[in-house]
Every structure is written in C-alpha cells, then in structure tokens.
Amino acid sequence: MDNFSNIDGDGRYCYKYPRPSVTADCVLFGFDGAKLNVLLVQRANEPFKGCWAFPGGFMDMDESAEECARRELWEETGLTVDSLRQFHTFSTPLRDPRGRTVTVAFYALVGMCDVAGGDDAADARWFPLGGLPPLAFDHDSILRMALRCLRERLYLEPVGMGVLSDVFAFDELVNLYEAVLGVRLDKRALFNRAAACGIVVPSEGILSDACIDSALFRFDTERYEAACDAAGTSGLV
C-alpha cells in the first residue's frame, strides 16, 4: 500500500472520506412572568426562506460548537447569552436539503429581552410556546428535546437565577416552574423545599411560613451555585 496516497502535491493530507457540514442551533426559552416563550428568527435565504427557525448557522473552521452558537445567536438576534447548554446532536441524513449537515443544539432559559434580526435573519421575535409558527428543517424535533431537557433540569437543580429579578415574590418563582413544567404545583411544598436547602432566602427579615405571600426573596448565590454543581439531588420539585 502506498503510504503517501493521501498526501497532495503541497504535502497536505487529503481526507478521503466524505465530510458533513456542522452547524450549531440555539433554543432560547424566555420567561415573561407568566408564560414560556421561544426565540425564533425568520430566514432571509433559501432553503425555507421566510420560514421561522432557531438562531444558528455553520461552524467556522477555527471555532468550537459553543463559540459558533454564541456567535450565531449574537449575529442573528443581538443577544449574548453565557448560559447556553449543549443538549443533543441531530444527524438525520436528510435533515437539511442543502446536503449532509449535522447540528449541535444548545438551549438556555433567560428573562425576556429585546431582540432584533440581523445577518441572514430577516426578523427575530419571541413567540409563546403554545403559539409557535411552523418551523423549518427538523426544528420541531429540536424544540421537543430542548423542552424535555429543560423540564428534567428542574428536578435535578435549582432554576431561576438570571431569569427572575434579583429580588422577587415567591409567586414569581412558582409561576416560572409552572410555566416550564406545564402543570400546577403545590406552592407550599415548593416553598418548604427551597427554604430547607437555603437556596431562596428573604431579602429582609427572617424566613417563616407567614412571609410566603407577602415577603420578597432572593437567591443565595453561594448555595445556588453549589446546588447546581451537585446537580442530580438539588431540584426544588
């Protein structure tokens, strides 16, 4: 066998196997105080021109999937999000009509914020989770898995810091959890769990059952971060 058959005239290695394109897509869930919303961009180019999709695009040769996701999110919506979490790789052979394309998907839960379409996104807009337009590519499947991962996360670690205000009413935390899970929760049980682990503390005064409806709360940053590091045993539901 010729050991140099994969070397071109300039001494560079020639990869003999087909290589798929790689993209990154971002599923952003935004909480508005009452319901969960999803950030979509309207595609300015074919394929699926005019259709709605998740912010994302092709990975440059000198960047990681995480860097690609953050860059595309910024270019197409104007948002910078540090809390993106990689949750799955979608690789069905015919998922993109342009050719063999694998996408690495990320999600984040954030507070609602202003967005603006840019680069190859004609528009960027928040849609209620229950009122989404038809999505391009296989983004329906990506959304379903992202939502499932977000819901599972609530059982493993606390959620809410960076989504709620620094100081919040306990009902706001309950509303967030109910919006994500899509079910009604026992507010007292959630309060007792949060109080027992010390993740949620009153912004002033002493924690007691009497203050659940009247007091304002904040997250204890140190305990919150420790609970996230110990994910698997620290969920509030």
Which comes out higher in pLDDT, residue 92 or 211? Answer: 92
Q: How confident is the model at residue 177 (pLDDT cuts 50, 70, 90)?
A: very high
What are the domain boundaries of the chain? 21-154, 168-229
* Homologous superfamily assigned to 21-154: Nucleoside Triphosphate Pyrophosphohydrolase (3.90.79.10)
Phi, psi of 195, rounded to the nearest 5 degrees:
-70, -40
Q: How many CB atoms lie within 10 A of CB 98?
A: 10
pTM for the model: 0.91
Quick check: 65 pLDDT over 80? yes
Quick check: 2 pLDDT over 50? no
What is the C-alpha to C-alpha distance for residues 66 and 83, in angstroms, rounded to an integer? 11
Quick check: 223 pLDDT over 90? yes
SS3 label, residue 121 = strand
